[in-house]
Chain A
Amino acid sequence: MRVSKKWLKKYVDFRIGDDLLAERLTMAGLEVESVTSQAANLKGIIVGEVRSVGIHPNADRLSLCSVFDGSGEVQVVCGAPNVESGQKVAFAAVGTTVPRSQHDPDGVPMQIGRVKIRGVESSGMICSGFELGLSDDREGILVLDSSARPGTPLSRHLHLDDTAFDIGVTANRPDLLSHIGVAREISALTRSPLKIPPVHLRTTRRGSLPLKVQVQDGRNCRRYSARVVRDITVGPSPGWLQALLTAAGVRPINNVVDVTNYVLMEIGQPLHAFDYDKLSGHQIIVRGGDDTSRFVTLDGKERIVDSSTLLICDGEGPVALAGVMGGENSEISGSTKTVVLESAYFDPVSIRRTAKRLGLSTEASQRFERGTDPNITLWALNRAADLLSQNAGGTVQDTLVDVYPRVIRELRIDFNAENSNKLLGIKLSNQTISGLLKRIGIECVGRPTRQGKIRFRVPTWRPDISREVDLIEEVARLYGYDKIEADTKIHLTLDVSPSRRSIEDDLGDYLSSAGYQEIITNSMLSARESANSTGESVRILNPISREMETLRSDLLHSMLTVIQHNINNGISSSRFYEFGKTYRMDPNGDPEKLGSFHEEEKLLIAIFGLQEPVFWGNRTEQSTIFTLKGECNALIRKISLDNPRYIPYSTPTALSERSIFIEISGERVGMIGTVSGDLLKIFDLESDIHFLELSMTRLTNFPKEKIQFREYPRYPVVTRDLAVVVDESVSIGDLGESIRQAAGEMLGEMAVFDIYRGNQLEPGKKSVAFSLEFIPREKTLGQEEIQAIMSRIMQRVSTTFNAVLRQ
């Protein structure tokens, strides 16, 4: 809501500076988003006189003007078609800033410099209405009236000395969508009385024109007031009216429309003016739409009307969408002689539904759907009629229509100061509270009860106040939030469980220290990217774009987008991880039921390129799937869960070329894989990318082992190497498992440190070398004991795998 300072001053006399006013309004909940002084905006721009217009030597469409700025003449190149010698114009000299650039789509301010245009020097600019922020006219320059004196500041010549405040009005305060509403707050802040101008309407009884009004849908149209004003002459509004509307951001159109807009901006009551002669049967019927039909609104667009749309109709059919927009068929035109003014109260929900359905939000609908004051329709109607008679030569008929079968009365709310004080943590007396509320028109009625309760009467312009707690908020607001002292004593009545770190925190910290970069990506993807094997992907009904019409079913696609971005930017090695959710829907699940949807928290790690930064001391290896297999062990150990079991799976899937599934305690918790060639192709990637995915949801569900100290053997660890030759087909995982079983409890860490194939061996054979670590339980391990274990191992592997000890 943009309010004009001059306009506000009609209702309340305040004498504080613009900045202070803005701050006080903000602190009262009327957030002032910007303060714009018209004069400041036009600073440096003056009245100029075009002394001569010549032809630009190098461009047909440009003219070469000589502009007199009050002291001398300067040469200006001008591109406007309407520039003529003798005109008084708005002139921006070199060094001034015009509010809006004609060439910028957003119309940002532009500083005028001395430039050469097509080889000819230009020292300044003749401005258009658009550039000055005074109109939307970009085509031609703004021509001032001939009385303008060259050299005079433009703002003074145009009487543009107003200041506009842009206020962010919250959705609960329809009353603030008007100057009187804002003035009421200023009056409360400055303790200066609010003056609402009385309306002295002169009406005539002679030659009455008939008007019949019938409200059929009384539920959605609670009040309908109307008047007829005849003998008007449509034309431009007087300067003062245009100036106020302009300052409040409303474009002047003609005296009839301007008057209705003026009253709208004054008190917040939307009015509509119909051309009386275009109303068939000179009647108005307020009713719901009967069937689906089409109707052309004032903006020239065809709208589909259905049975839920509240309509204003004449004898033939719709003439307006009630509370939203009028129709073309009853529009005021230059030849309109008689108007019907409508001032009504429509049900907020009905108007909101229509506006939403049609995607049509207007100044009127915004106010009706928030709730206008049902008891100001007459004041607004008479105010507008009076202004029409003064400014459009109209005669107001004395017949007044006011259909208001059930009066909406002011609410009375019981208020207990104790409740208020308890909630806010302050101590205010009944008297103080009544005094505060009185400033905004909420009056105390009757005397306090024996229990100390008081009763307040809430004016109908405040539909947001219906409960005691709503009044408490007003008390706090008027008292001043800043006067309520902060209480830093925090009481602890809760049993607070020890704040344990989550698994996610542990893993994230581990990964970051291990050189992995955390990423956070968009969870909305295209349907193709979220295609899912385990359920249906979750579709968004109203996506921003096709690229974001579903929720992801894996983290890999968004990860690959990030990798692609970085590779395209010259990064050749990286390691990333992301904690994020994946989403799916039960196949054939009911989309209206929340239970059909599933979210799973996952961790995805992906690596590509070198395993570590290059080093002069040794060759640096490329990352492989085994890099992540090893990382997986570390991660699981980090969160102290059981050892994982790995199940290799060599058949390619849509996502991976080869996979290793990870199980903990018999439950699958994730997988390790190499990104499939198909997927790489989609992302136009060439390097191998390996990934590890873990379900955080599942990992979190395992009971986490409590760390408990156990006595450990304090004898030196003994390490032995063992190399065996086996057939190529023997899986090293199985071989290792077999060794572990044969070795028994004393075996600690076991590692594979070499795999050899070559001419020292028979074809089809490989040699695998293990390093085995034995942890003695009782005493220092003797040679014989170790030898016994090693023989046991050899015996087992030679039986199972036909293995031979390699000498």
Chain B
Amino acid sequence: MTPLDQRIDDVRSSALREISEAGDRSALDGVRVKYLARKGHIAALFEELSSVPPDQKPAAGKALNLLRREIQAAFDARLGQAAHPEGRRIDRTDLTLPGKQKWVGSRHPLTQTLDEIRGIFRRMGFAVATGPEIEDDYHNFEALNFPPDHPARDMQDTFFISKNVLLRTHTSPVQIRVMENTPPPVRVIIPGRVYRNEAISARSYCLFHQVEGLYVDQGVTFRELKGTLVSFAKQFYGSSLKYRFRPSYFPFTEPSAEMDITCFLCGGEGCRVCKKTGWLEILGCGMVDPNVYSFVGYDPKKVSGYAFGMGIERIAMLRFGLDDIRILFENDVRFLRQFA
């Protein structure tokens, strides 16, 4: 037995004895200070650890930790008894019994994602507008500058109800409906369900949800479009994010752009999710094409504006680390519970 072991034994027996002999709380507190406090006996023993030969250090450290736990437990137990002054009946209720549980519910992860996006744009002065899912060709395509027989229509595989009536492929027709019913200026966001006739797989589902934004006023610029979306992205993804805007094509905006942010999964190094590019595409946007204004009776010489749109599933999947879109529509409680 080493000298340290010997002293550990001594401290143990004296501490346990003094704890059991302490008659009231103040006496007990004195024992705590003597042994367990920062300058107590046990702390002093820990300090001696540095002079123990290296090969014995692990064993000695273990013994000291054990000592501390033992004394603490004895102290806690005694404190529980001392809390009741002599003469009062001790309550025998087993307080380790479980409490009365409640069901815990949650909003769907898609709703949570949408709520957050909507909240940010509301604070930036956007009102919320909605529109029908069953749409006509005019609002879904033509008035958005998709001419009949134009290859741009291939960008969105469509479910048809009849020749003229379809399930909207994007929330953009609500832009048209808002402008048809409101003279400029308008500033709205438009959440909603959209449909695409694509094979169901881990990466695509026959329907998904979008949030669309539209702002038309006098003198709205591309710079302001960038500013608004950067501000949104920083509020949603964190202010240190890096972003880029690159040219793209949407029939109803000109110029059109897509916004990427640095992949937050790999920090821009490149990974499976960002397809090794280090960038994640988060939304499409652009300046409202003048042809759209002529469909809704706005004067393109007087107003300008921007529109943007993003897919809520994609954003939720990136945010929560999901790699299969179908799980969002399966509604397994083991999945949903994770979002409580």
Query: CB within 8 Å of B: which residues of A?
Result: 26-29, 31, 33-34, 170-173, 348-349, 352-353, 366, 369-370, 422-426, 467, 469-470, 472-473, 476-477, 481-482, 484-494, 496-497, 499, 502, 505, 508-509, 511-524, 538-544, 548, 551, 562, 565-566, 569, 571, 574-576, 581, 583, 591-594, 597, 599, 612-613, 615-617
B134 touches A583 (CB 8 A): yes
B111 touches A517 (CB 8 A): no
Chain A nearest CB from B268 CB (Å) reads 12
Contacts of A540 in B (CB 8 A): 159-161, 167
A594 touches B149 (CB 8 A): no
B248 touches A170 (CB 8 A): yes
- Give B55-72 interface residues, CB cut-off 8 Å to A: none
Q: Does B7 contact A (CB under 8 A)?
A: no
By beta carbon, the residue of chain A nearest B119 is: A499
Q: Write the B104-128 contact mask toward A (1 if CB under 8 angstroms, else 0).
A: 1111101100010000001011011
A520 touches B111 (CB 8 A): yes
By beta carbon, the residue of chain B nearest A477 is: B247
Contacts of B124 in A (CB 8 A): 490
B254 touches A469 (CB 8 A): yes
B332 touches A473 (CB 8 A): no
Q: Does B155 contact A (CB under 8 A)?
A: yes
Contacts of B125 in A (CB 8 A): 490, 492, 494, 496
Query: A486-B227, A617-B100 are contacts. A473–B255 as well, Cβ < 8 Å?
Result: yes
Contacts of A615 in B (CB 8 A): 100-101
Query: A511-B105, A521-B329 are contacts. A490–B227 as well, Cβ < 8 Å?
Result: yes
**Interface-facing stretch out of B31-39, B75-83, B84-92, B218-226:** B218-226
Contacts of B170 in A (CB 8 A): none
By beta carbon, the residue of chain A nearest B164 is: A592
A574 touches B333 (CB 8 A): yes
B223 touches A424 (CB 8 A): yes
Contacts of B217 in A (CB 8 A): 491, 493-494
Contacts of B245 in A (CB 8 A): 481-482, 484
23 A-B residue pairs with Cβ-Cβ distance under 8 Å, sorted by A, are A28-B246, A171-B155, A352-B149, A352-B151, A425-B224, A473-B254, A473-B256, A484-B223, A490-B231, A514-B105, A520-B110, A539-B161, A540-B159, A541-B160, A544-B199, A574-B333, A581-B133, A591-B165, A592-B162, A593-B164, A599-B132, A612-B100, A615-B100
The 3 closest A-B CB pairs, nearest first, are A515-B103, A29-B247, A425-B223
A576 touches B331 (CB 8 A): yes
A467 touches B103 (CB 8 A): no
Query: Quick one: which of A349, A517, A591, A593 contacts B149, CB cutoff 8 A?
Result: A349
- Give B119-165 interface residues, CB cut-off 8 Å to A: 122, 124-125, 127-128, 132-136, 149-152, 154-155, 159-165
Query: Quick one: which of A349, A493, A541 contacts B161, CB cutoff 8 A?
Result: A541
Q: Does B187 contact A (CB under 8 A)?
A: yes
In angstroms, Cα B69 to Cα A109, docked, is: 55
Query: Quick one: which of B103, B106, B110, B246 contacts A27, CB cutoff 8 A?
Result: B246
Query: A494-B187, A522-B207, A612-B102 are contacts. A481–B246 as well, Cβ < 8 Å?
Result: yes
By beta carbon, the residue of chain B nearest A577 is: B105
In angstroms, Cα B124 to Cα A499, docked, is: 11
Chain A nearest CB from B32 CB (Å) reads 36
Contacts of A594 in B (CB 8 A): 132, 134-136, 165
A508 touches B290 (CB 8 A): no
Query: Quick one: which of A34, A476, A509, A612 contacts B222, CB cutoff 8 A?
Result: A476
Chain B nearest CB from A351 CB (Å) reads 10
Query: A470-B254, A597-B165 are contacts. A544–B223 as well, Cβ < 8 Å?
Result: no
Q: Does B206 contact A (CB under 8 A)?
A: yes
By beta carbon, the residue of chain A nearest B253 is: A473
Contacts of A616 in B (CB 8 A): 97-98
Query: A171-B152, A171-B249, A520-B108 are contacts. A488–B230 as well, Cβ < 8 Å?
Result: yes
Contacts of B136 in A (CB 8 A): 594
Chain A nearest CB from B100 CB (Å) reads 5
By beta carbon, the residue of chain A nearest B110 is: A520
Chain A nearest CB from B324 CB (Å) reads 15
A520 touches B152 (CB 8 A): no
In angstroms, Cα B333 to Cα A566, docked, is: 7
Query: A28-B247, A490-B124, A594-B165 are contacts. A423–B221 as well, Cβ < 8 Å?
Result: yes
Chain B nearest CB from A539 CB (Å) reads 7
In angstroms, Cα B329 to Cα A320, docked, is: 47
Q: Does B244 contact A (CB under 8 A)?
A: yes
In angstroms, Cα B327 to Cα A562, docked, is: 12
By beta carbon, the residue of chain B nearest A563 is: B331
B244 touches A424 (CB 8 A): no
Query: Quick one: which of A366, A519, A613 contacts B103, CB cutoff 8 A?
Result: A613
Given A490-B224, A493-B217, A562-B331, 6 more contacts at CB 8 Å?
A27-B244, A27-B246, A425-B221, A499-B127, A520-B329, A524-B207
Chain B nearest CB from A151 CB (Å) reads 31
Chain A nearest CB from B30 CB (Å) reads 41
A489 touches B227 (CB 8 A): yes
Contacts of A26 in B (CB 8 A): 246
Q: Does B287 contact A (CB under 8 A)?
A: yes
Query: A476-B222, A487-B221 are contacts. A521–B331 as well, Cβ < 8 Å?
Result: yes
In angstroms, Cα B111 to Cα A591, docked, is: 32
In angstroms, Cα B289 to Cα A467, docked, is: 11
Query: A26-B246, A171-B151, A349-B149 are contacts. A422–B304 as well, Cβ < 8 Å?
Result: yes
Contacts of B127 in A (CB 8 A): 496-497, 499
B161 touches A423 (CB 8 A): no
Contacts of A31 in B (CB 8 A): 246, 248
By beta carbon, the residue of chain B nearest A426 is: B223
In angstroms, Cα B162 to Cα A591, docked, is: 6
A592 touches B107 (CB 8 A): no
In angstroms, Cα B275 to Cα A33, docked, is: 8
By beta carbon, the residue of chain B nearest A505 is: B115
B257 touches A481 (CB 8 A): yes
B106 touches A517 (CB 8 A): yes
